[in-house]
């Protein structure tokens, strides 16, 4: 049987100061619970695009932005902080809930996840 982790592999979301400007970067962590970020990709992309529009972030400042990874540059401190907070509000709960769901599924005797090497 596959060993499960005791903690969810939460996305890394960070703010970096680059001279006078700020940058926000995020990246998912490779784990079974992270697959939910790909499954909910369309929803997450809409949420992130809407948040950036609300924060008046110019499209030229967006290197990439998806539910899995992203880099947004040339922000002021308030924009960077608010974008990070918005990403924390959406990405962390989605991955945490999927982790809990997978843990619960794995504890059911008739639905235990089987390691591919055992099959």
**Cα separations (Å) of 28 from 38, 86, 113?**
10, 15, 22
Q: Check if CATH label 3.30.310 holds for domain 12-106.
A: no
Placement of tokens 């997450």 in the chain: 44
pLDDT in tens, 30-79: 999 999 999 999 999 999 999 999 999 999 999 999 999 999 999 999 99
As a three-state string, the secondary structure of 18-69 is: ECCEEEEEEECCCCHHHHHHHHCHHHHHHHHHHHHHHCCCCHHHEEEECCCE
pTM over 0.75: yes
β-bridge mates for residue 23, sequence order: 16
What Rg do the C-alpha atoms of the chain give, in angstroms?
A: 17
> What pLDDT digit, counting tens, does each position of 84-108 carry?
999 999 999 999 999 999 998 887 7
């Amino acid at each position: 049987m596959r060993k499960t982790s005791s903690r969810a592999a939460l996305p890394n979301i960070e703010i970096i100061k680059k001279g006078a400007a700020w940058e926000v970067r995020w990246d998912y962590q490779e784990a079974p619970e992270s697959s939910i970020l790909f499954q909910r990709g369309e929803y997450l992309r809409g949420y992130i695009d809407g948040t950036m529009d609300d924060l008046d972030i110019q499209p030229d400042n967006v290197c990439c932005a998806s539910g899995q990874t992203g880099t947004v540059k040339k922000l002021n401190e308030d924009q960077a902080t608010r974008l990070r907070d918005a990403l924390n509000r959406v990405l962390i709960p989605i991955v945490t809930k999927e982790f809990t769901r997978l843990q619960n599924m794995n504890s059911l005797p008739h639905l235990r996840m089987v390691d591919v090497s055992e099959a």
